Amino acid sequence: GQNIDQPTEMTATEGAIVQINCTYQTSGFNGLFWYQQHAGEAPTFLSYNVLDGLEEKGRFSSFLSRSKGYSYLLLKELQMKDSASYLCAVWDGDYKLSFGAGTTVTVRA
Amino acid sequence: GAVVSQHPSRVICKSGTSVKIECRSLDFQATTMFWYRQFPKQSLMLMATSNEGSKATYEQGVEKDKFLINHASLTLSTLTVTSAHPEDSSFYICSARGTSGDYEQYFGPGTRLTVT
């Protein structure tokens, strides 16, 4: 089966930076996604990495190291609205998307 | 951007009854649709994958006779929970993917099912 690990919870202060790590072991790899999910809502797409390196998109950046089975999502200049669950998901060799359990980020004033 | 809708957003049904959830791609044709289930504070678990016009492929441990999936057109897939039990209470989310070259899955807003 697929194994995707990420921390359960993180807390940070408004304006700060938070890094959410994700490690994965999957049968095949066709890319890694990060999604944001607010309580009771569907996930919304944040980023997709298939090659090693850093992808920057505004306040959010995502990094991938395929050899280490590792990714992180970096949230900069945190805002209260960034309080949500962040899901790491891997597209395996069959193009099935498997999700980690999610990291709940709480932003405090 | 691509929009996926789900109906209903919330449903309460009695134990033993069946409930149907619709998933529609509003502005694109979805060759593949996915159904997920999410329990509180847990990950999204893939239940099944459906391709238009063919039978759904169910994940291990998901009862195909209990969770009936129909992908009758390129814009509509339905999930019917038959003989619902309280343990089926969950958040059901569908997602859709367009052409094979498009890696992104577009998620619906989810359906909260409560079985009493």
Answer yes or no: do A48 and B112 touch at CB < 8 A.
Answer: no
Dihedral pair phi/psi, residue B66, rounded to 5°? -95, -40
Determine the pLDDT at residue B104. 77
| B114 pLDDT more than 90 | yes
SS3 content of chain B, % helix, strand, coil (to 5): 5, 50, 45
Answer yes or no: do A91 and B103 touch at CB < 8 A.
Answer: yes
> Nearest CB to B43: which of A31, A40, A100?
A100
CA gap B40, A12 in Å, rounded: 23
Chain A residues inside the 8 Å CB shell of B101 = none
Chain B residues inside the 8 Å CB shell of A101 = 41-43
CA atoms within 13 A on the CB side of B62: 19
> Nearest CB to A41: which of B42, B46, B110?
B110
CA gap A102, A81 in Å, rounded: 17
Tens-digit pLDDT profile for residues B6-18: 999 999 999 999 9
Interface contact B91, partner A, CB < 8 A: yes
CA gap A30, A1 in Å, rounded: 16
Instruction: Please name which of A99, A60, A94, A105 lies closest in space to residue B44, comparing C-alpha atoms.
Output: A99
Answer yes or no: do A101 and B43 touch at CB < 8 A.
Answer: yes
Residues B57 and B42 sit within 8 Å (Cβ to Cβ): no
- pLDDT per residue of chain A (109 residues) written in tens, 0 to 9: 689 999 999 999 999 999 999 999 998 999 999 999 998 888 899 999 999 999 999 999 999 999 999 999 999 999 999 999 999 999 988 888 899 999 999 999 9
